[in-house]
A = this chain, B = another copy of it.
């Protein structure tokens, strides 16, 4: 980061740890499904299977990291996130977690209060980033219901 805040609600380091903690938990939820159910089961149609939500989370997270680094926020090609293949999903997931760890510290802090143009509207870098994480938590919470409906104990929410 180019600036260090002396008094703030959250430091860049703690915010990165927060994001990565959620990514690690979501990864465990992806793994908790039987593979055939990950991409086919929905507890309440017309909701999507959790595997499709996970691909969306991946693509939005990638968009957000790229946007914070470059100021460019192009709409993802959603067709790149459709494989019904857990290994492929986890490979993309882990590669992005490694990029996030390496590249998030390079984000200019000034990007967070600035307004950016995303595919879904204008918002600050903070709003874009926290929305990305919130969307992950929201859909993962839905995945918990799917797992319960399948008789599977989900990973502990409080572990990151």
Closest to A2 in B: B7
A40 CA to B47 CA, complexed, in Å: 22
Q: Is A142 an interface residue (CB 8 A)?
A: yes
Q: Is A8 an interface residue (CB 8 A)?
A: yes
The answer to whether A10 and B138 touch across the interface, beta carbons within 8 angstroms, is no
A44 CA to B144 CA, complexed, in Å: 10
A interface residues, how many (CB within 8 angstroms): 45
Q: Is A18 an interface residue (CB 8 A)?
A: yes
Q: Is A28 an interface residue (CB 8 A)?
A: no
A1-42: CB near B (< 8 Å → 1, else 0) gives: 001111111111011001000100000000000000000000
Residues of chain A having any CB pair with chain B under 8 Å = 3-12, 14-15, 18, 22, 43-47, 109-110, 112-113, 120, 124, 126-127, 129-131, 134-135, 137-142, 144-146, 148-149, 157-158
Give 9 CB contacts A-B under 8 Å. A8-B109, A9-B15, A11-B113, A43-B149, A44-B148, A44-B149, A135-B157, A137-B138, A138-B157
